[in-house]
Amino acid sequence: MRPLAGGFAGLVFGIGLALSGMLNPARVLGFLDLAGDWDPSLAFVLVGAVAVSMIGVAVARRRPRPLLAARFGWPTADRIDGRLLGGAALFGIGWGLAGFCPGPAIASLGLGIGKSLLFVAAMLAGMALYRALLRPRSQQQQPAP
């Protein structure tokens, strides 16, 4: 049941990305260009996503456990460090250069957008490089959930 629920959630997420214009790198870059010809339309997508997330988290926090798992996997990190800032900067630079972030890039593969294939390949290479070189040893020995 969990794979089916995950697939359905991914499908709904991908449709939402497509309908919102997040799969169009030119539109995303227009939103990120605050000093130039700024396109504020994706701000509504951002506000809507934050509102839906806030409601979802509020509902989930009232539940003793998730529907399809034994427990919730709430974040436990509570400090801002160099790794967090570096990762955020790298994410922002990649998003600003390509007009894609991971979710829209993967959804764009289904539309045959060639630029997304290059982005996803680079993203997977970066993930493999992190896993091989930079991931803390304490995380390397833990099995995936």
- What does the pLDDT look like over 72-93, one tens digit per residue? 999 888 899 998 899 899 888 8
Least confident of 13-22, 88-97, 109-118, 129-138: 129-138
| Rounded Cα gap, residues 115 and 113, in angstroms | 6
What is the model's pLDDT at position 22? 87
- What does the pLDDT look like over 18-50, one tens digit per residue? 888 888 888 888 988 889 888 898 899 889 999
The mean pLDDT of the chain is 87
Residue type, 38: W
| Rounded Cα gap, residues 144 and 40, in angstroms | 39
Q: How many separate helices (H) and strands (E) can be counted in the chain? A: 7, 0
pTM exceeds 0.85, yes or no: no
What is the model's pLDDT at position 5? 93
Residue type, 37: D
